[in-house]
Amino acid sequence: MNPPPDAKPPVLNPALSPEKTLRRLFLTLFLRGRSSRGLRKEATPKSVGSKLALTLVVYAAFGLIALAFHGQPVFVLSVYLHSMTLVFLGMFVASSAGEVLFNKEEADILMHRPVTARALLWAKIGVLVQVSLWLAGAFNLAGLLVGTFSAEGGWLFPMAHALSTVLAALFCTGSVVLVYQLCLRWFGRERLDGLMTTMQVLVSVVVVIGGQVVPRLLFRPGGTPKFSSDSWWVALLPPAWFAGLDDAIAGRGTGSSWLLAAAGLIATATVMWLAFGKLARDYETGLQALGETVSRRSPRGTRRRWLDVLVSVPPLSWWLRDSVSRGSFVLTTAYMMRDRDVKLRLYPGLAPMLMLPFVLLFQNRGQSAGAPAGAFDGFGLAFAGGYLGMIPLLALSIVKFSQQWQAADIFRIAPIAGPAALCHGARRAVLLFLAVPAWIIFGLVAWFLPGERSHLPLMLPGIIALPIYAMAPCLGGNAVPLSMPSEEAKSAGRGIAMIGVMLVSVVISGLATWAWSGGWFWWFVLAETILVAGLYTGMRASLASARWDSVD
């Protein structure tokens, strides 16, 4: 059939611009995760709406803490909001940026397409900022209401705070990207991959520790601030710059607030200019470096790696007599030290856990200084002993996930009846390289603190319970290292386990402190040792009987 004479030619649905296509691509990849290989069809993250909504609800729930700042001046409320926003965003951007900015496989997919490196960079930055703003928006929701209905804030506060939050998100994203760009420029592309991992871990750890320390510097227990916008040292803290903008527009509008606001604007503009303008050329170099493979001669020559030497000499060779456990130990240690994906999940995850015992130790000292000895003296030390037991629990629940999980099929192919020996190897690796050093460092700090040395035995009940903490995640053969896809790593189950361990730690440390003050501490230690020995033997037997489940 011929078309009518006045019919217009069909209009083709135009292609999205490359810029929009890239933004949409990176947002999809970010939300779904980079790899979905082998995931069950029903488990594939096709619909990300619910996942994202849940994350935003969690952030909004965290934001409800801002309700406690009702009645505080705008500046104080804003310092709190921006501190926490920068911590959350810093953690998010630091943990995501390396993978988003420098993905190895991406070079093979995109670098031969007609798009510039700058377009790639801008699309990625756009996605990072976009998701940052969603998270920041959710977290600041309650704070916006508090500010709006405060005596100082009013209707100007939401607008001012929205503006300052956008600036804070840009500053945060820009700062992390800038750190990567500078590393690339200073240390060269040959060491890019290892450097990215180290930087990402360091930035994450610094942000996490900063998130623990800064609020304690700024606020007294109960939320009373130790500062105002006139305090000179406040100008050194980025959250105060952005809070200054809120205070200048919707608060007191003093000269010092305007100065802080100006500092925030200048800092953000500078960071953006450096990260996305001046150093953007280095990004192309970095992307290219990921696409290049060159075998470099090892400076080590024929020397064996330290890990191989370590496991082949006593006392480790005695502890790792079984060859399967030894192999699993070496594998787990190597991934904890070398693998970017594992390191990025492990060390930032452990950082807040390591901080809390120190905070407890010092806080306890601050409160009890000059106070008479009481029944619960040393509780902080006892609690820290038990709390550090979470290290192997958390670490084992992290190292069982890997991007190279399919390689773990080798364990099932090998003539090994069940996963027990593999779990033992992983358990020993996290005990030796994570839990023991943490205990030694904490013990040393406590040893050198005046007045704490005599309470050091209170750490013993926690240390005695350690084999149980480390064995628990292995039950049922659930701690086979690197055997599950990273995308399946769920923190909800881990969170419940952590709460359980924390409660057990509170009970043990409470009993230990009570026994200490009652003079029957060593009897308590003996009883606990017998109980732990019995439990441990039972758990070990249970693990030994675990068999491989079917792979469907």
Partner 1 sequence: MISLQQLTKRYGAQTAVDSLTFEIPAGQIVGFLGPNGAGKSTTLKMLTGMVTPSAGTATVCGFDLLREPLEVKRHVGFVPDSGAVFESLTGLEYLEMVAALYAIPRDSALLRIRQFISFFDLSFETLTDKLLGAYSKGMRRKVVITAALLHNPPVVFFDEPLDGLDANAAVGFKALIQTLAREGKTIVYSSHILDVVERVCDRVIIIDKGRLLLDGRPDELVATHQSGTLEKLFTQLTGGAEMERRAEDFAKTFRP
Residues that bind partner 1 (CB under 8 A): 12-18, 20-22, 24-25, 28-29, 32-39, 41, 44-46, 105-116, 190, 288, 291-296
What is the closest distance, in whole angstroms, from the C-beta atom of residue 281 to partner 1 in the complex? 12
For partner 1, which is the closer residue by CB, 219 or 283? 283
**What's the closest the beta carbon of residue 552 comes to partner 1, in angstroms?**
14
Nearer to partner 1, 34 or 252 (CB): 34
Beta bridge partners of 401: 484
DSSP 433: I
Question: Whole-number minimum distance, CB 498 to partner 1, in Å?
Answer: 29
- Minimum separation from the CB atom of position 396 to partner 1 (A): 26
- For partner 1, which is the closer residue by CB, 30 or 335? 30
Sign of dihedral through CA atoms 157, 162, 163, 167?
positive
127: its two tokens: 């996605």
Least distance CB 298 / partner 1 (angstroms): 14
> Which residue, 28 or 317, is less far from partner 1 as judged by CB?
28
Question: Considering beta carbons, is residue 44 or 367 the nearer one to partner 1?
Answer: 44
d(CA 392, CA 497): 12
Q: Which is nearer to partner 1, 117 or 336 (CB)?
A: 117
Rounded-to-integer distance, Cα 91 and Cα 112, Å: 32
Nearest CB to partner 1, comparing residues 41 and 220 = 41
CA nearest neighbour of 251 among 375, 110, 147 = 147
Contact in structure between 479 and 396 (CB atoms under 8 Å): yes
By the 10 Å C-beta count (0-12 exposed, 13-18 middle, 19+ buried), 445 is classed as middle
Rg of the chain on CA atoms, in Å: 27
| Residue whose structure tokens are 């370590």 | 310
**Closest CB to partner 1 among 190 and 230?**
190
By C-beta, is 285 or 529 nearer to partner 1? 285
Q: With respect to partner 1, which residue has the nearer C-beta, 54 or 109?
A: 109
Residues in CB range of 481: below 8 A, 6 or more apart: 328, 331, 332, 335, 399, 400, 402, 408, 422, 425, 426, 429
- Three-state DSSP at 219 gives strand
* Smallest distance from partner 1 to CB 137, Å: 25
Give helix 192-218 / helix 74-101 axis angle, nearest 10°.
170
CB of 124 to partner 1, least distance (A): 14
- Nearest approach in angstroms of CB 319 to partner 1 is 34
What is the number of other CB atoms lying within 10 angstroms of the CB of residue 218? Answer: 20
d(CA 362, CA 368) in angstroms, rounded, equals: 10
d(CA 327, CA 88): 38
DSSP 3-state helix, strand, coil percentages of the chain (rounded to 5)?
75, 0, 25
- Residue 102 has, within 13 A of its CA and on its CB side, a CA count of 29
d(CA 243, CA 260): 8
Q: How far apart are CA 128 and CA 296, in angstroms?
A: 34
In whole angstroms, the minimum distance from the beta carbon of 26 to partner 1 comes to 10
- Rounded Cα distance, 120 and 19, in Å: 8
What DSSP character marks residue 485? E
| Shortest separation between residue 25's beta carbon and partner 1, angstroms | 5
Tokens standing for 228?
């105002």
CB of 104 to partner 1, least distance (A): 9
Contact, 497 vs 432, CB < 8 A? no
Helices then strands, each counted (H, E), the chain: 22, 2
Which residue, 127 or 353, is less far from partner 1 as judged by CB?
A: 127
- Min separation Cβ 78 and partner 1, Å: 38
Q: At its nearest, how many Å lie between partner 1 and the CB of residue 482?
A: 18
Residue placing its CB nearer to partner 1 in the complex, 294 or 371: 294
Cα distance between residue 482 and residue 473, in whole Å: 14
Q: Which is nearer to partner 1, 33 or 457 (CB)?
A: 33
N-term to C-term CA, the chain:
54
